[in-house]
Structure formats: structure tokens, C-alpha cells
Structure 1
């Protein structure tokens, strides 16, 4: 259970209000879990850091969003499937090299076609997907976000991985971060939640803190967040 203070449980309505998206604009919220020492995975998967509380916020992020945005490496490592819920939520996958094949569960087990965001140079087989070309050799993430918005997908739930998150931060495209801190010391050589080019630090404001036993659920919003109104 999630607690804002001892003895007070957060209701679904309260959580939706806390984690909701602003209206009238395109907004990207990243959702990540890490160990106390900053590892983003255990044995190569984020599931090793999970908890019921983290799962609740993860599913809430999907319920509130219009689209899930994820990198192809995460799709392959985590075994992503397509949208299968009562309200089909499209999965948008970023792949600069075209490392996806039509036999993946992302394409074979879904209620709506995924969106594949790729490049002119990518050598990719024909996929049962809405393919977006967003750059020649590297994906232009600004073009990618604009393409999602043009499809009416303004509430973007960024689920990983660290390289895509780091690139989105570097491009100034992330508005908020939901970070679950798992009560583990993972050590090892796992990546941190963001990996990419060196940029000036991005200033964040802490907007909420929830506790579920020893798990912390933090929500941050970028100060002076970009102003991107819906077209």
C-alpha cells in the first residue's frame, strides 16, 4: 500500500490526481525504478527491482497516458508485448538501426499495431506497424515526439531504457520523472537510469514523495518545463 503519511493510504483517485498529465499540451513523463545505489536492473532486467507499489505506479502511468515510448533494446531485453488492455495503449518503439523483427510478441500479441520510430538508413524487414521516419542515420527525438503528437498522442509515458531516457533529457524533451527507489544494493555493473551525452544538469523540483514499506516513490518535474502546446 502507498502512504503519504503514516496510517493514510492513497486512493486510486488521489494517485490519478497526483500523477496526472496537464491538459492542453504535449507532456513526457519518464517512469523508472532503481536500487538505492543507482542500478537500473538486476541480471539485466528491471523486474529484479520491482515491488507491488512500483507495479501500481507503473500501471497507473500506462492508464493515464496516450502512448508508451520505449527503446528497442528495452523491448528485446524485457520481452515487451503489444497493447492488450480494454483501452489499447499503443507502444512506440525507437530504433535507429532497425533491430526489430515481425515475430516479436510486440507485433504478434497486440490489439493495436505498434508505432516504430526509425531512420532512413535502418535496414528493417516489413513490420505490421505504423512506421515513422525521424532522421537519416539517427532518430531525431524532437521529430519523434512531434509525430506522436500529430497522431493525437500527447501524454507520453517514457519507460526506457537508460540510453533513450538520456537522449530525451539531452534533447530537452522530458517534463517529469516518476522514480521508484527499491531498498536494495545491487552493486554489479548495471547502468544508471539515464545514459548519454554529457549535458548541463537539469534542475528538478520534487513534487511528491510516497512510501510503501521500505520502497520510496518519488515524483519530480523539470523546473521551467518546456512550453509545447498541442497543435
Structure 2
């Protein structure tokens, strides 16, 4: 495995050492309509994490693509558990991505949105106190959390009820589109991905296949019941022994 961040295109139209603009063109959101895509990494035997974190599976090329996939997004949707497990703080892009967005007439940083039925989020955490853009928290009208917890979160985020007993992801997608956030990029985790699939809300999957066999007890990139969903291969990128796959669902 070569850990230098160089990415080649294998299919279609093979090309070597793609620059950032070529990679952005390869993965661009459609020009119109609402689009929701998800981004995951997994080992060759399907492990979605290593030592409890997905980031431990990636290398320089995966991290490069991870940042580029965020760059064009209006909103990044992440499950509350993943925010905690992966150590998200105030959601900021790197300087190059922020500058690229400003040059393109976009806000420097996308909105961060999360889903939490129990509202088990700390309003004093950097996730909120260091956020460059006010986050959105989707929950239910019957959230199993004290009223004062919701009130505290409403001081630092837009708290939106999207469903009565369970979050309705069709409503989440519609609310984001109504806010003008039509380019939706999700970074998981598995429960959120499974729920999005169950709602028929996912348009594309970007999956990095790490060149490792991890075994152990790590879960898969999806969790929860949903109808099997066909995936159509759109492109194959390669970085050394690592594959970066793009599927349309």
C-alpha cells in the first residue's frame, strides 16, 4: 500500500495522478435537485472500524477523498453516535476547502446536521460552541429526553422534530432541501445509513475498500432492517492497493 495520497482512475476513462479538480468533477453532485450520498470505509472482509473508529482504517488517499467529498456539500449529516465515537468537534473544513468554497460563492463551511432521538448531546461541547455555522439536530416529537435538555440544545442549534416516535428520514431530507441544503453528504454511521436506506433516501455510496483483513468483532457499514438495495458502479479509483468505489443506488 502506497500512503502518498496519489489517486488514479481505473474506470471509466483511466487516468493517473488525478488533481483535486479532476476528483471533484468525478464525484460532483448533480446540477439540480436534492441528492444524498454517504461515505464509508471498510476492510476487505467488511469491517467498518478498527479499534472502534472508522478513521483508523484510512490512509492519506482516503483522507484526501474524505475532505474533497465534504467540499461541495451544503450539509454534512452524521449520526449522534458517530459524532461521539469519531471525536467530532466544531465542524470546519480545512483551509484549502474553505477557500475553494468562498471562491465558488458558497459559505466557507457546510452546515452540520445530526440525528438524536434522546437528544444525548452536550450543548457545551465544541461541536456547538466552536461551530462556524449553527448546527441542526433532528429528533422526534416524543423524544425520550427531559424538556430542559431540548431547551438547552435549542440555544446552540436548530432542533427539528421530524417524526413522532422515530425520525422520518424522508422528512429530514425534505427539511434540508427546504432550507436550500440540497447537496447532502452523510458520514454515517451504520445505524443512520441503514435508516436512510430503509427510507429510500440514499442516492449514492462512496466506499473506500481498505487493503486489509481485520477479522474481530467490528460491524458492517449498515445496521438495521431494510430491503436489499441494488448498487450500480459509477467509477473506480485506486490509490496503491486501496480502491475508492462510487455506486449509484
TM norm. shorter chain > 0.5 = yes
Q: Who is 1:16 aligned against?
A: 24
Give CA-to-partner distance per residue, 1:186-222, whole Å, 9 cap, x none: 11111100111141x2111101111101111000012
Q: 2:167 aligns with which of 139, 142, 146?
A: 139
Q: 2:110 aligns with which of 66, 82, 89?
A: 89
**Are 2:195 and 1:174 aligned?**
no
Give CA-to-partner distance per residue, 1:116-165, whole Å, 9 cap, x none: 01111222341100111101221111111111111100000010000000
2:197·2:226 contact (CA, 8 Å) conserved in 1? no
Give CA-to-partner distance per residue, 1:172-196, whole Å, 9 cap, x none: 0000000001111111111100111
Q: Which runs of 5+ in 1 are unaligned?
A: 223-231
Q: State the alpha-carbon separation in 2 of the partners of residues 90 and 53 from structure 1.
A: 24
Give CA-to-partner distance per residue, 1:55-86, whole Å, 9 cap, x none: 11111111011000011000111111233343
Q: C-alpha displacement at 1:93, in angstroms? A: 0.4
Task: Report SS of the residue matched to 1:210.
Answer: strand
Once structures 1 and 2 are overlaid, which stretch shifts more, 204-213 or 84-93? 84-93
Give CA-to-partner distance per residue, 1:72-109, whole Å, 9 cap, x none: 00011111123334312111001111111112221122
Task: Report SS of the residue matched to 1:160.
Answer: coil
Give RMSD over aligned pairs.
1.4
Q: Which runs of 5+ in 2 are unaligned?
A: 1-5, 99-107
Q: C-alpha displacement at 1:7, in angstroms? A: 7.3
**Are 2:125 and 1:104 aligned?**
yes
Once structures 1 and 2 are overlaid, which stretch shifts more, 77-86 or 153-162? 77-86
2:44·2:210 contact (CA, 8 Å) conserved in 1? yes
Once structures 1 and 2 are overlaid, which stretch shifts more, 9-18 or 162-171? 9-18
Q: Who is 1:49 aligned against?
A: 57
Q: State the alpha-carbon separation in 1 of the partners of residues 118 and 9 from structure 2.
A: 44
Task: Report SS of the residue matched to 1:69.
Answer: strand
**Are 2:234 and 1:207 aligned?**
yes
Q: State the alpha-carbon separation in 2 of the partners of residues 21 and 7 from structure 1.
A: 21
Q: State the alpha-carbon separation in 1 of the partners of residues 212 and 91 from structure 2.
A: 31
Once structures 1 and 2 are overlaid, which stretch shifts more, 171-180 or 8-17? 8-17
**Are 2:218 and 1:190 aligned?**
yes
TM-score (norm 1): 0.92
**Are 2:8 and 1:3 aligned?**
yes
Once structures 1 and 2 are overlaid, which stretch shifts more, 144-153 or 3-12? 3-12
1:82·1:110 contact (CA, 8 Å) conserved in 2? yes
